[in-house]
Chain A
């Protein structure tokens, strides 16, 4: 017996085994990182997703209604790993991520209480977000300045969405190794959530 997840891939719905789901998610995330600096990244990813969906549909029959890890491995092999796909980058493939010292403030919505502003500041200065939250609350109660600051920062700060942004937020140099670490952490977290 296995737990299955229902996912929407390229506009079609599939039942997919839990392990197959994590593998597919990892693959798509890697592609996303790979195409991050491409102008039409989302379009390329959408095209690839609809191809995945088409290949999955060919795998299903009346007797086989769930996508397994083998199916995912087969399909990702057909489409190719991000390294295989990068035909044009040549030997400098890894360089584009190396922007050492990039350190920007973002909203950290992974650790948010309201909008991730305090969590983002905490990550930026490497201090406990609760300290910032207490300061903001204190400033709010003594004249309302805190809520104004919060609102402005909420509007001004972008959300840290991509892995590269999450690394920039903490100020680590962004390189392939860091991204891999961070992605791995994220999957472990997802895996843990699923098992609960």
Chain B
């Protein structure tokens, strides 16, 4: 068993869940998402986010629109689609169950 690999696998699913969570409040520009994930210490390097966002967009969970920015070129604003919201609802449920299960096991 490789500890780093196990950690990375755990983090990956949670990261996808958290991106959707961040976007459920507001539509966001990718740098805003990065800021939140960094503050929560969920990502170390920023590059991790971009393939995930693109994959989530390709599978129909997210959509984006271009918006003018006060400085520099237009920015991509991501938002949840309807199927993204349903997906997130399921993940919320499963997260709650997982936390309960883990707590149950660890308290014994």
Chain B, interface SS category: helix
Query: B15 — which chain A residues lie within 8 A by C-beta?
Result: 87
A31, A39, A53, A78: the one contacting B72 at CB < 8 Å is A53
- Contact at B48–A85, with CB atoms within 8 Å? yes
User: From A88, which residue of chain B is reached at the shortest CB distance?
Assistant: B12
A51, A78, A91: the one contacting B2 at CB < 8 Å is A91
Query: A31 — which chain B residues lie within 8 A by C-beta?
Result: 47
* B54 touches A (CB below 8 Å): yes
User: From B30, which residue of chain A is reached at the shortest CB distance?
Assistant: A47
Given the interface pairs A40-B54, A79-B46, A80-B45, the reply to whether A87 lies near B5 with Cβ below 8 Å is: no
- Contact at A80–B31, with CB atoms within 8 Å? no
How far apart are the CA atoms of A35 and B50 in the complex, in Å? 11
- Contact at B47–A43, with CB atoms within 8 Å? no
- Contact at B53–A47, with CB atoms within 8 Å? yes
What is the interface of chain B, defined by CB distance below 8 A to chain A? 2, 5, 8-9, 11-12, 15, 30-31, 34, 44-48, 50-51, 53-55, 58, 71-73, 75-76
Number of residue pairs spanning A and B whose beta carbons lie under 8 angstroms apart? 70
How far apart are the CA atoms of A128 and B53 in the complex, in Å? 47
- Contact at B71–A84, with CB atoms within 8 Å? no
How far apart are the CA atoms of A44 and B58 in the complex, in Å? 12
* A98 touches B (CB below 8 Å): no
How far apart are the CA atoms of A44 and B34 in the complex, in Å? 15
* A48 touches B (CB below 8 Å): yes
Closest chain A CB from B54 CB (angstroms):
5
What is the interface of chain A, defined by CB distance below 8 A to chain B? 10-12, 31, 35, 38-40, 43-44, 47-48, 50-51, 53-54, 57, 77-82, 84-85, 87-88, 90-91
Closest chain A CB from B32 CB (angstroms):
12
- Contact at A39–B45, with CB atoms within 8 Å? no
Closest chain B CB from A89 CB (angstroms):
9
Given the interface pairs A39-B58, A88-B12, A91-B5, the reply to whether A80 lies near B48 with Cβ below 8 Å is: yes
User: From A84, which residue of chain B is reached at the shortest CB distance?
Assistant: B45
- Contact at A44–B73, with CB atoms within 8 Å? no
23 A–B contact pairs at CB < 8 A?
A: A10-B73, A12-B73, A38-B54, A39-B58, A44-B51, A44-B54, A47-B50, A47-B53, A47-B54, A47-B76, A50-B73, A51-B31, A51-B50, A53-B73, A54-B31, A54-B72, A57-B72, A78-B45, A84-B48, A85-B48, A87-B8, A87-B48, A88-B12
User: From A11, which residue of chain B is reached at the shortest CB distance?
Assistant: B73
A54, A57, A84: the one contacting B47 at CB < 8 Å is A84
